[in-house]
Amino acid sequence: MTTSRERSPIRSPPTVEFPVVSSPLFMEEEEYPWYDPDTWYPVHIGAVFKSRYQVLVKLGYGSASTAWLCRDLEGHCYMTLKVFEQKSAQAATEKAVYAHLETVRSHHPGQQYVRKLKDSFELPWKEGMNQCLVFDALAANVKDVRERTTNNRLPKSFTIGVIYAVLQALDFLHTRAHVIHTDLTDGNVMLSTPEESYFDAIVEEEWSDPMPRKLEGDRVVYHHRAVDIPSNPGPPILCDFGQAIVGSGEHRRIALPDLYRSPEMVLGIPWKEKIDIWAVGCMFWDLFEGKHLFIHMRGALDEEGFGENDGDHLARIIALLGVPPGGLLDRAVVPDRYFDNDPDGNFWFCGDIPHVSLEGEEDVLQGEEKASFLRFISRCLQWRPEDRSSAAELVRDPLIAMVFGKPTSEAKAEH
């Protein structure tokens, strides 16, 4: 006869002195212009939520939330707690997308590379409620891994492993769940780890050598603890669905990180799931080359929602991919903003088209390796969304199949 394991005891907060940050200085989430202490919940290390999750370490923060490593006192495991600011659209979207994903019945291999929501609850604060989402604990994100390298560049085999996982996840999302991620970056791909000792070490470091914190009355603003890269990492996991969209229709709202803007975003063309494929190409380039392929941030937006640097971004796309193919500009909302009325659509924007090329920008590889890499990138970066390969097609690309030791035909059979 088996008996349930007793509930873990609540851990007493550390008594070691911690560095205190000077009050006038903004720190972490306080640096956002929209930060409001009346709408961001004051999480304290040592606190227990829902009589179950004890907060142990601050893992990070974002534009609408803070993230914390917790101990599940009932499940006897580590979890990640994401606490959103009040009335956050990202919180509502992310919770709804995860709820939708729970309804998808599939044996697609890409499901294992998509993060799963384990629990959710709300915390009352001031005049409102803060949404909290609970996930399995994960290790460092791929951006952190890349930024710790000496050349800001990841090894080819590691990078392809990340791209393989992302493509599998996207194929599941696009074809089974009908979800568009819209926010694909290396910061939203995290490494998993099977070893609980990895998180034990993080907690012990915080308990023995606490990170700095700022004291504001009954509020404490903690500096997050950067976590180490696990010695035995598990599969990469695609996370953060706060910008995701459910449905197979066309969309017009602004999406994608600034440096990953696809032609649809700049020209006002309705878009679908292929914006994620454009982002895959940009991310693959960034991880392996150690530099951004596109370099212009959007800048201030005008009344029509176009960024002040969209023209420069478009000029670089032209330099790397050539002029837009016939018919594409007919779909654009305001093609005359950047192109004349000539049937060929001559680019007349005041900025110069830079003298660059994909081949010239790639300076790591040589010979057939270089050609193979550029062929993959070109399958992602196409003017017309319909000309971009699907995630299922890309995961069968020889560049991916070769690293995973599978002939193209065998990889194809998985789909």
Beta bridge partners of 222: 213
Q: Is 183 a catalytic residue?
A: yes
Q: What is the DSSP letter of 309?
A: T
Residue 122, CA distances (Å) to 87, 88, 98 in order = 12, 12, 16
Dist CA 130 CA 84 (whole Å)? 6
Dist CA 354 CA 311 (whole Å)? 12
Check 183, 276, 286, 310 and give the catalytic one: 183
**Using DSSP, how many helices (H) and how many strands (E) does the chain show?**
12, 12
CB contact at 8 A, 132 and 121: yes
Dist CA 70 CA 92 (whole Å)? 22
3 state SS of 83: strand
Residues 6+ apart with CB under 8 A from 15: none
Tokens matching residue 380: 């992602």
Ramachandran angles phi, psi of 213, nearest 5°: -150, 160
Handedness of CA 305, 307, 313, 314 (dihedral sign): positive
| Catalytic residue ranges | 183
